Chains A and B, each alone.
Chain A
């Protein structure tokens, strides 16, 4: 059972960057009727999203977020000993994007750098890896970068996914300090559900070809995509979330011996408004303790949890905050964490 406990490690500061280009979802009507679009947008509750242009990558968003955070917090770059980039939209198949970012950010050659490839669970997984390595005591500061350009992954002609996803990047500085106290993580995987959210081709199992890049009508609703577009079976995903997430949160609460009322904020992966509202209701959470930014930025995959903290809690955090985070999605992979945010510095959102 992947239940973990760490001591005296925490997030000292957090920043986020989104592209300037804003998509008005109600006007995203180039492939679908306006009435259909309104129906979908009302239900998923995503009014606007941010899209990168053709030349901009996840790493560019993370780079801008990291530069802002390092400057705002006056971080000495030579103290950053670990850099992890979590994403499923890296710059290249090789080398790892984290290594390119090490050089771009002007970090020392003695920085440990690697990528983690996970989707909506990735920020929490990434955080657990950083906490685990920090616990060894050998690292002074760690930089966790998490970026996604999911706008490039899904077909605009597939109504299951065309209105959901947006782009963003975040940076977190993590350090050892006795003020942070105990933190708890639960990490999970279920590969039997690999087909729920997937890009079928373009890897090494089904290499890219003219065939995999050809658009096809894929169902009776007339949705169109290629084998190299992502797809999502919304009903299966919803079932999965209802089955696994409340269970995982309850498991973590009991492992940590922390009661629901002790949690200041529940930050859930921003999947869509309908699913999140239902999940909050099922977990009997108080609405004011469940911040969301889904209407502004859409589903930004792994970025959505830290982006929600930056966008919604910058002015609301107290000195000490007990946070419950829960991320779930492609894999299927899901993770929950209880962490303390102690005087956490939060930069203004950067737009590029």
Chain B
């Protein structure tokens, strides 16, 4: 589950030259921008059938934060 999420996250932001970690602060990625955010919204909707309100999303800082939030809403 965790590795699958990391792979999806990486693929969504089109990060091709390195591995990413659950502890990464994703807003620091060079690939992170408003278009990346749209892709992430679409990925989470498609894979987990979940829409994260932007006020909530702003409080999520690491890849793990996003993953944990999804887990808390989809179990």
Partner among A43, A233, A242 whose Cβ is within 8 Å of the Cβ of B45: A242
Does A278 lie at the interface of the complex (its beta carbon under 8 Å from any beta carbon of B)?
Answer: yes
Q: Which residue of A lies closest to B57 (CB)?
A: A235
| Contact status A239-B34, CB under 8 Å | no
| Contact status A39-B54, CB under 8 Å | no
| Contact status B51-A43, CB under 8 Å | no
| Contact status B41-A242, CB under 8 Å | yes
Output the least CB separation between B56 and chain A (Å): 10
Output the least CB separation between A39 and chain B (Å): 7
CA distance A158 to B53 in the complex (A): 23
> How many B residues, CB 8 Å from partner?
14
Chain A residues, Cβ within 8 Å of B37: 234-235
Q: Which residue of B lies closest to A220 (CB)?
A: B27
Q: Which residue of A lies closest to B52 (CB)?
A: A239
| Contact status B41-A239, CB under 8 Å | yes
**Known contacts being A235-B54, A239-B53, A243-B51, is A43 close to B41, with CB within 8 Å?**
no
Chain A residues, Cβ within 8 Å of B33: 221
| Contact status B34-A160, CB under 8 Å | yes
Does A31 lie at the interface of the complex (its beta carbon under 8 Å from any beta carbon of B)?
Answer: no
Output the least CB separation between A173 and chain B (Å): 38
**Known contacts being A242-B45, A282-B45, is A274 close to B51, with CB within 8 Å?**
no
Chain B residues, Cβ within 8 Å of A282: 45-46
CA distance A282 to B41 in the complex (A): 13
CA distance A274 to B53 in the complex (A): 19
Does A238 lie at the interface of the complex (its beta carbon under 8 Å from any beta carbon of B)?
Answer: yes
Chain B residues, Cβ within 8 Å of A239: 41, 51-54
Does A40 lie at the interface of the complex (its beta carbon under 8 Å from any beta carbon of B)?
Answer: yes
Chain A residues, Cβ within 8 Å of B34: 159-160, 221, 234-235
Does A236 lie at the interface of the complex (its beta carbon under 8 Å from any beta carbon of B)?
Answer: yes
Chain B residues, Cβ within 8 Å of A159: 34
Partner among B38, B45, B46 whose Cβ is within 8 Å of the Cβ of A235: B38
Chain B residues, Cβ within 8 Å of A278: 42
Chain B residues, Cβ within 8 Å of A160: 34
| Contact status B51-A236, CB under 8 Å | no
20 contacts between A and B (CB under 8 A): A39-B35, A40-B35, A160-B34, A234-B37, A234-B38, A235-B34, A235-B37, A235-B41, A235-B54, A236-B54, A238-B41, A238-B42, A239-B41, A239-B51, A239-B54, A242-B41, A242-B42, A243-B51, A274-B42, A282-B46
Q: A40-B35, A43-B38, A278-B42 are in contact. List 19 more A-B contacts (CB 8 A).
A: A39-B35, A43-B35, A160-B34, A221-B34, A234-B38, A235-B34, A235-B37, A235-B38, A236-B54, A238-B38, A239-B41, A239-B52, A239-B53, A239-B54, A242-B41, A243-B51, A274-B35, A274-B38, A282-B45
List the 4 shortest-distance A-B pairs measured between CB atoms, nearest first: A235-B37, A43-B35, A236-B54, A278-B42
